[in-house]
């Protein structure tokens, strides 16, 4: 067996969250129990520790509330550490990334009705072929809607439509943020109970090719936010979308800048085993919903 890092996002019941692919609380507990029996679960700061079993890091992206109410509670009960990453824009300036708005709207509104509304508001071409990008979605309207939100509409049009829907559910965008994301007070509690907190991003933007600009806009402000609000200087980084289409270039360009600013390592979305020690900088991760690591 080899060292592994497991990547988690939503930990909630699948029936109540159809806009993305969560792991259920029951399956999460079972998975952590299995991992604890077969691996030494460590925090990133303990990478160089010598262990009898292969090492594993339990990692979380986006700092959504379910990670606090469900995942953190399970980890605490089982006495194992977790690595949680912070996205600062929702907490600091009330800006929600588009993809979270998409997940919320698709989980709570009918796909066919959304499609009809979009066609009434925007000029949308035939998407029969292009929507095949989402061929894994059995619902035709879900495929169309995802393509429109993620590829067709400009950010302002997309945000305006989605935020209006979310406000209908929560009364205000601020109420949604309070319900959807881990609060500053909760992050402090997690830190005080042995969880590692790292930088994820500011607004969850993909890497576009200018490493210094990307660091200045998507990493450094989140680091400052964590220093000021959580009283920690983060040493670990997990890029939004794993770097996106430019992930390979991002890892090469960004590593020297991260090192120069005190970061000890970072985590990818490449699904493979890894070697957990600080001789390396980038660490692969398995998605929790794919059980390749269970061998």
Q: Is 6 helix (H, G, I), strand (E, B) or coil?
A: strand
Q: Write down the pLDDT at residue 119.
A: 95
229 lies in the same domain as 87 = yes
75: CB partners within 8 A, 6+ apart: 32, 58, 81, 82, 195
> What pLDDT shows up at residue 107?
93
Whether 193 and 287 map to the same domain: the answer is yes
Same domain, 105 and 77: no
**Same domain? 54 vs 154:** no
Q: Give the end of a domain, one of 176, 193, 209.
A: 176
What local confidence, expressed as pLDDT, does residue 135 receive?
Answer: 87
Element (H, E) at 287: strand 286-287
Contact 277, 54 (CB under 8 A): no
Q: How far apart are the first and last CA of the chain?
A: 8
Please report the pLDDT score of residue 19 as a whole number. 74
Provide the number of structural domains found in the chain: 2
Q: Are residues 78 and 108 in the same domain?
A: no
DSSP line for 30-81? HHHHHHHHHSEE--GGGTT---SS-EEEEEE-S-BHHIIIIIIHHHHHHT--
Listed as ranges, residues in the chain with pLDDT below 50 are none
Out of 127, 146, 176, a domain closes at 176
Distances in whole angstroms, Cα of residue 234 to Cα of each of 56, 90, 243, 265: 20, 19, 19, 11
Tell me which of 176, 198, 217 is where a domain ends: 176
- Do 33 and 147 belong together in one domain? no
Structure tokens at 164: 């209006």
Please answer whether residues 5 and 57 qualify as being in contact, where contact means their C-beta atoms are separated by less than 8 angstroms: yes
Distance of CA 262 to the CA centre of its chain: 22
Query: Are 265 and 137 in a shared domain?
Result: no
At 294 the pLDDT is 59
Q: How far apart are CA 167 and CA 96, in angstroms?
A: 12
Query: What backbone phi and psi angles, to 5 degrees, belong to 124?
Result: -115, 125
Q: Looking at the structure, tell me whether residues 112 and 242 fall in a common domain.
A: no
Same domain, 74 and 104: no
Q: Which domain covers residue 54, as residue numbers?
A: 4-93+181-293
Judgement on whether residues 271 and 255 belong to the same structural domain of the protein: yes
- If asked whether residues 190 and 265 sit together in one domain, one would say yes
């Amino acid at each position: 067996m080899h060292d592994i890092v497991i990547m988690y996002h939503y930990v909630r019941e699948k029936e109540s969250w159809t806009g993305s692919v969560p792991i259920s609380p029951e399956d999460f507990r079972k998975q952590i129990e299995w991992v604890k029996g077969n691996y030494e679960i460590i925090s990133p700061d303990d990478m160089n520790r010598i262990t009898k079993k292969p090492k594993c890091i339990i990692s979380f992206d986006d700092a959504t509330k379910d990670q606090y109410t469900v995942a953190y509670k399970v980890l605490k009960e089982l006495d194992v550490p977790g690595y949680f990453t912070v996205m600062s824009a929702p907490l600091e300036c009330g800006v929600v990334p588009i993809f979270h708005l998409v997940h919320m709207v698709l989980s709570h509104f009918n796909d066919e009705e959304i499609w009809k509304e979009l066609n009434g508001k925007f000029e949308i071409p035939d998407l029969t072929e292009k929507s095949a990008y989402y061929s894994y979605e059995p619902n035709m309207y879900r495929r169309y809607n995802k393509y429109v939100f993620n590829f067709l509409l400009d950010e302002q049009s997309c945000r305006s439509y989605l935020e209006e829907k979310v406000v209908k559910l929560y009364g205000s965008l601020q109420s949604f943020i309070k319900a959807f994301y881990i609060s500053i007070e909760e992050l402090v509690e997690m830190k005080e109970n042995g969880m590692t907190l790292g930088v994820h991003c500011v607004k969850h933007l993909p890497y576009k090719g200018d490493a210094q600009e990307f660091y200045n806009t998507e990493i450094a402000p989140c680091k400052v936010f964590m220093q000021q609000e959580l009283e920690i200087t983060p040493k670990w980084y997990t890029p939004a979308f794993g770097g996106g289409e430019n992930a390979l270039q991002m890892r090469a360009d960004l590593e020297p800048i991260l090192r120069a600013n005190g970061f000890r390592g970072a985590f990818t979305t490449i699904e493979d085993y890894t070697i957990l020690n600080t001789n390396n900088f980038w660490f692969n991760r398995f998605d929790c919903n794919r059980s390749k690591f269970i061998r």
